[in-house]
Structure 1
Amino acid sequence: MLSSDETLSCHRCGFPESVPPTTVVQSPCPEFLRFNHLPTDAILSDVRREIAIAENGIDGIDEQVRGLKRVLDGLESRRRELQNFAAAHKQVLAPIRTLPSEILSEIFLQYVQHRPTGAWLIARVCRSWREIAISSSRLWNQIDMDTSPFSANISAATINVLRRLLSTFLSHWPPAQQLMETQKVAILEALFPAAHHWREAHLCLDASELRSLFQRLGANGLPTSFPQLTRLILFATSFSGEYTLGTVFRDLPVLDELWYFGDSAGPATSLGLQGVALGQVKKLIIAAHRSRYNLSDLLDTLQLAPKLVDLRFTHCIFVAGPGDGTRTIHLPNLVSLRMSEIDYSLLCYIASPTLQRLTILFTPRARPDPIAGQASILSFLSQPGLSLTFLELCPISQTTEHLLEILAHTPHVRTLKLYFRDPIDRLFLDALACGPGERNLVPHLVYLELEGIFRHCGRGPLVDMLRSRCSPGPLRDVTICGDSEVNEMPRLAGVEITLRRVKS
Structure 2
Amino acid sequence: MPLPYDLASRTTKSESKKPAHGHRELIRVPNIADHFHTNEPPDDPDAQLFSQTLKYATDREPFLQEEVRYLETILYQRLEELSRVKQTIRQYKFVLSPVRRLPRELLMEIFFQVIGNEDPEDVLDFDRGLWPLTHICRLWRTLILNHASFWTTVSLPGRIRYPTYAVHILSLFLERSGSRPIFVDFTCRDLESLPQTLFSVLVAHSHHWETCRFRIPVLLINHLSPRAIERAKVLRHLDLNLDLMYSSRLNDACSNLFLDASVLRSVKLTGVPLTPDTLGLRWSYLTHYNVAQDFPEKHLAVLRLATGLVECTMNCSQPWRQEPWGSDPVSLRKLQILKLEGTASVLLKYLLTPNLCSLSIVLSETEDSLKGFLDRSKPRLRELEIEANPMGNNILDALQSAPHLIKLALNVSVPTDYRQSIVFKDLLVALKYHTRDDANDSTTTKCKLSRLEELILSVYTISSRDNLFANELTAMAVSRWKVPGKEREGTERNLAQLKSFTLETNSYWLPAFNVFRELGQEGLKTNINLH
Do both proteins adopt the same fold according to a TM-score greater than 0.5, normalized to the shorter chain?
yes
- Partner of 2:285 in structure 1? 280
Q: Offset of 1:319 from its aligned partner?
A: 5.8
Query: Which stretch of the first structure deviates more once superposed, 422-431 or 328-337?
Result: 422-431
Change (3 A) 1:442 1:183: farther
- Partner of 1:208 in structure 2? 219
Q: Offset of 1:430 from its aligned partner?
A: 3.1
Contact 1:295 1:324 (8 Å CA) reproduced:
no
Counterpart secondary structure, 1:164: coil
Do structure 1's residue 461 and structure 2's residue 489 form an aligned pair? no
- Partner of 1:263 in structure 2? 271
Contact 1:451 1:502 (8 Å CA) reproduced:
no
Map 1:3-402 onto structure 2 (within 5 A): 87-88=90-91, 90-115=93-118, 116-117=120-121, 118-146=129-157, 153-154=167-168, 158=172, 161-162=175-176, 164-173=178-187, 175=189, 180-211=191-222, 213-214=223-224, 217=225, 222=228, 224-238=230-244, 240-243=249-252, 247-260=256-269, 262-263=270-271, 269-270=273-274, 274-287=279-292, 293-314=294-315, 316-318=316-318, 320-322=320-322, 324-327=324-327, 328-361=329-362, 368=364, 370-371=365-366, 373-374=367-368, 376-395=369-388, 397-400=390-393, 402=394
Contact 1:255 1:281 (8 Å CA) reproduced:
yes
Q: Offset of 1:359 from its aligned partner?
A: 1.6
Q: CA RMSD in A?
A: 4.1
Distance 2:521 2:169 in 1: 66
Distance 1:91 1:411 in 2: 62
Q: Offset of 1:421 from its aligned partner?
A: 0.5
- Partner of 1:417 in structure 2? 409
Change (3 A) 1:312 1:84: same
Change (3 A) 1:162 1:445: same
Q: Offset of 1:325 from its aligned partner?
A: 3.9
Task: Report the residue type matching 1:381 in the other structure.
Answer: L
Contact 2:183 2:212 (8 Å CA) reproduced:
yes
Task: Report the residue type matching 1:479 in the other structure.
Answer: F
Counterpart secondary structure, 1:232: strand
**CA shift digits 1:207-238 (9 cap, x unpaired):** 11112x13xx47xx645332222333223222
Task: Report the residue type matching 1:234 in the other structure.
Answer: L
Change (3 A) 1:296 1:498: same
Change (3 A) 1:90 1:443: closer
Task: Report the residue type matching 1:113 in the other structure.
Answer: G
Change (3 A) 1:503 1:340: farther
- Partner of 1:429 in structure 2? 428
Task: Report the residue type matching 1:285 in the other structure.
Answer: N
Counterpart secondary structure, 2:230: coil
Distance 1:189 1:358 in 2: 40
Change (3 A) 1:464 1:223: closer
Q: Identity, % of aligned pairs?
A: 19
Distance 1:107 1:149 in 2: 31
Q: Offset of 1:476 from its aligned partner?
A: 2.5
- Partner of 2:514 in structure 1? 488
Query: Which stretch of the first structure deviates more once superposed, 472-481 or 450-459?
Result: 450-459
Change (3 A) 1:412 1:330: same
Q: Offset of 1:280 from its aligned partner?
A: 3.3
Distance 1:254 1:404 in 2: 42
**CA shift digits 1:428-468 (9 cap, x unpaired):** 33344433144534242322333436634744434544565
Q: Offset of 1:271 from its aligned partner?
A: 6.1
Change (3 A) 1:96 1:435: same
Counterpart secondary structure, 2:168: coil
Runs of 5+ unmatched residues, structure 2: 1-68, 122-128, 416-420, 486-494
- Partner of 2:498 in structure 1? 476
Q: Offset of 1:383 from its aligned partner?
A: 0.9
Q: Offset of 1:121 from its aligned partner?
A: 3.0
Task: Report the residue type matching 2:150 in the other structure.
Answer: L
Q: Which has the larger radius of gyration?
A: 1
Task: Report the residue type matching 2:427 in the other structure.
Answer: F
Contact 2:144 2:150 (8 Å CA) reproduced:
yes
Change (3 A) 1:209 1:75: farther
Change (3 A) 1:206 1:325: farther
Task: Report the residue type matching 1:417 in the other structure.
Answer: A
Change (3 A) 1:121 1:284: farther
Counterpart secondary structure, 2:303: helix
Task: Report the residue type matching 1:455 in the other structure.
Answer: D
Contact 1:159 1:190 (8 Å CA) reproduced:
no
Task: Report the residue type matching 1:471 in the other structure.
Answer: P
Query: Which stretch of the first structure deviates more once superposed, 225-234 or 461-470?
Result: 461-470
**CA shift digits 1:102-131 (9 cap, x unpaired):** 332332222222343422332244433222
Distance 1:156 1:502 in 2: 46
Distance 1:207 1:320 in 2: 27
Distance 2:317 2:274 in 1: 12
Contact 1:336 1:357 (8 Å CA) reproduced:
yes
Contact 1:286 1:312 (8 Å CA) reproduced:
yes
Distance 1:457 1:81 in 2: 68
Task: Report the residue type matching 1:106 in the other structure.
Answer: E
Change (3 A) 1:495 1:432: farther
- Partner of 2:395 in structure 1? 403
Task: Report the residue type matching 1:101 in the other structure.
Answer: R
Change (3 A) 1:392 1:90: closer
Query: Which stretch of the first structure deviates more once superposed, 157-166 or 184-193?
Result: 157-166
Contact 1:397 1:420 (8 Å CA) reproduced:
yes
**CA shift digits 1:300-335 (9 cap, x unpaired):** 332332221221235x32564547444432211111
Change (3 A) 1:86 1:408: closer
Contact 1:193 1:222 (8 Å CA) reproduced:
yes
Change (3 A) 1:96 1:245: farther
Distance 1:105 1:409 in 2: 52
Distance 1:351 1:255 in 2: 24
Contact 2:148 2:177 (8 Å CA) reproduced:
no
Task: Report the residue type matching 2:357 in the other structure.
Answer: Q
Q: Offset of 1:90 from its aligned partner?
A: 4.6
Q: Offset of 1:355 from its aligned partner?
A: 1.7
Q: Offset of 1:379 from its aligned partner?
A: 2.8
Change (3 A) 1:150 1:255: farther
Contact 2:341 2:362 (8 Å CA) reproduced:
yes
Change (3 A) 1:421 1:398: closer
